[in-house]
Chains A and B, each alone.
Chain A
Amino acid sequence: ETGVTQTPRHLVMGMTNKKSLKCEQHLGHNAMYWYKQSAKKPLELMFVYSLEERVENNSVPSRFSPECPNSSHLFLHLHTLQPEDSALYLCASSQEWGLDTEAFFGQGTRLTVV
């Protein structure tokens, strides 16, 4: 039990589909993050939310759309993805954004775009 739960664990979608990834944290943290993890590459920060406000936009394609309805939940909406978007998508949370506090990660959603 990591305190950060992601669903689904695995997702296969076609390039014309629309799907959403869900993340929930039970730690009372104020910051939540979406990362993309591709094989043998560094973690790529996609989006950061602090107190439900988006604070980072790292030039992510518009086919990825985040949503943070409250401080415990984070979504990543996907549409018209490309095969190169296949990766492990990790959600994380931390006590605050912009401090030297550790991040707690979910187990990720393994996304395959066909």
Chain B
Amino acid sequence: GQNIDQPTEMTATEGAIVQINCTYQTSGFNGLFWYQQHAGEAPTFLSYNVLDGLEEKGRFSSFLSRSKGYSYLLLKELQMKDSASYLCAVLDSNYQLIWGAGTKLIIKP
């Protein structure tokens, strides 16, 4: 079966750095997405990786290793507004999106 694993919850301190991991086993791979979802709001797109390596976008970076079935989202200089759930999703060989259950990130002052 297809599976996406990410931690259920993480806690970090304002101003610090946090890394949210995502591992996947899917039938084929056509890219990996990260979305942010604040409580009671719509998920919003953060990043898309299809090639190995690190993609940096401001305070957020996303890394992919296809050989390891592994990705992480790196958040730097954490702000209180970064408290949200972070969803990892993989596009499989049929271009179906397979979703993880999300990681709830709690930022403390």
Which A residues contact B (CB, under 8 angstroms)? Answer: 2, 4, 40-43, 45, 56, 90, 97-100, 102-108
Interface of chain A, main secondary structure: loop
- Give 1 or 0 for each of B81-108: 1 = CB within 8 Å of chain A CB: 0000001010100011111111000000
C-alpha spacing A104/B31, complex, angstroms: 17
Residue contact A42 to B42, C-beta cutoff 8 Å: no
CB-CB under 8 A from A45, the residues of chain B are: 96-97
Residue contact A40 to B101, C-beta cutoff 8 Å: yes
The 3 closest A-B pairs by CB, nearest first: A105-B42, A42-B99, A43-B99
- Near A by CB (< 8 A), chain B positions 1-17 give 4, 8
Residue contact A100 to B101, C-beta cutoff 8 Å: no
CB-CB under 8 A from A42, the residues of chain B are: 4, 98-102
Residue contact A4 to B42, C-beta cutoff 8 Å: yes
A to B CB contacts below 8 Å, 29 in the list = A2-B42, A4-B42, A40-B102, A41-B101, A42-B4, A42-B100, A43-B87, A43-B89, A43-B99, A45-B97, A56-B96, A90-B42, A90-B43, A97-B95, A98-B95, A99-B95, A100-B30, A100-B31, A100-B48, A100-B50, A100-B95, A102-B33, A102-B45, A103-B97, A104-B45, A105-B42, A105-B43, A107-B40, A107-B41
Q: Is B27 an interface residue (CB 8 A)?
A: no
CB-CB under 8 A from A100, the residues of chain B are: 30-31, 48, 50, 91, 95
C-alpha spacing A99/B94, complex, angstroms: 10
Residue contact B8 to A40, C-beta cutoff 8 Å: yes
Selected contact of A103 from candidates B41, B45, B96, CB within 8 Å: B45
CB-CB under 8 A from B99, the residues of chain A are: 42-43
Given contacts A42-B4, A104-B45, 7 further A-B contacts (CB under 8 A): A45-B97, A102-B45, A103-B43, A105-B42, A107-B40, A107-B41, A108-B42
